[in-house]
Amino acid sequence: MGTAAMEPEIENLKARLKATWMAGDYDHFSRYMEHDARVFYERLDVPAGCELLDVACGSGQLALLAARDGVKVTGIDIAPNLIQRAQARAKAEGLNATFMEADAECLPFEDASFDLVTSLIGAMFAPRPELVAKELVMVCNPGGTIAMANWTPQGFVGQMFKAISKFIAPSGMPSPVLWGDEAVVRERLGFGTSDLTMTRRLYNLSYPFSPVEVVEFFRQYYGPSNRAFSALDESQGAKLRAELEALWSSNNLGQEGFTLVQAEYLEVIAVRK
């Protein structure tokens, strides 16, 4: 089991991160991302009956897909309200899935507990990536698979985070989008894996409303955007909103009244030694 130490500054950072992901309504937010979550999941070709751990699972976006296919699923997340929602969704469908509050840097499982360890746009936000990498490898069975999807620095979401960081002081942790850099991922996961394949792919961010409304949607429901706007005064908030509206509008491939932006992510598939 993971035994990562928690010093006061890390405890404070973790508390802020937990508050961030509990803000807004990530369950509602993630429903608009389910289509490409399924695309990512189906490429993994997960056999029924295998044991899957979904790290930073949110409200069950990927884990519930697997559970519906007969996979034995465990999901963990730092935000207790999202775990509660995932549990409720699983119960409503009668699915074989277990959800618990836990930290990606200190997973509460024995070595070699799972056949497949996944993280869809999740574990990349933990503040100590070297610990995350160690934990992901440790809980995976030898010969098992670790699969991640991580936003890239150059992609649309990386650019959105860059815009937000102009207005909000850095958190004191490494940039999450470094998990979307092939060289960095190789350094982090290469030590414990026998095979490491990385592919740049596009995630379709599709909304039945305009780019201006998408920015407001993110402000209301997406934790990082929600917290960023709440920390700004009216003038700075207006500047951030204008910059984000311009970013969404300039990248929009959708027809009038609709928004479709293709956001690059790095698909990481590793096999534990």
pLDDT (0 to 100) of residue 73: 98
Which tokens sit at 135? Answer: 């934990």
Residue in the block written with tokens 């997340």: 77
The per-residue pLDDT of the chain, averaged, comes to 95
Is residue 166 assigned to a domain? Answer: yes
Stretch 25-29: mean pLDDT, rounded? 98
Is residue 49 assigned to a domain? Answer: yes
Q: What is the per-residue pLDDT across 242-261, written as a single tens digit (0 to 9) for each?
A: 999 999 999 999 999 999 99
pLDDT at 2 over 90: no
Is residue 178 assigned to a domain? Answer: yes
Task: Report residue 169's pLDDT band, with 50, 70 and 90 as the boundaries.
Answer: confident
pLDDT at 171 over 90: no
Stretch 106-120: mean pLDDT, rounded? 98
Which domain covers residue 198, as residue numbers? 8-203+264-272
Is residue 57 assigned to a domain? Answer: yes
pLDDT at 237 over 60: yes
pLDDT at 94 over 80: yes
pTM: 0.95
Task: Report residue 6's pLDDT band, with 50, 70 and 90 as the boundaries.
Answer: low
Stretch 12-19: mean pLDDT, rounded? 94
pLDDT at 4 over 70: no
pLDDT (0 to 100) of residue 173: 87
Is residue 176 assigned to a domain? Answer: yes
Which tokens sit at 249? Answer: 């509008």
Q: What is the per-residue pLDDT across 119-167, written as a single tens digit (0 to 9) for each?
A: 999 999 999 999 999 999 999 999 999 999 999 999 999 999 999 998 9
> In the chain, what percentage of residues exceed pLDDT 70?
97
Task: Report residue 3's pLDDT band, with 50, 70 and 90 as the boundaries.
Answer: very low
Residue with more model confidence, 9 or 91: 91
pLDDT (0 to 100) of residue 213: 98
Q: What is the per-residue pLDDT across 196-227, written as a single tens digit (0 to 9) for each?
A: 999 999 999 999 999 999 999 999 999 999 99
Is residue 157 assigned to a domain? Answer: yes
Is residue 67 assigned to a domain? Answer: yes
Task: Report residue 1's pLDDT band, with 50, 70 and 90 as the boundaries.
Answer: low
Q: Please state the domain count of the chain.
A: 1
Query: Residue 167 is part of a domain; what is its CATH number?
Result: 3.40.50.150
Is residue 209 assigned to a domain? Answer: no
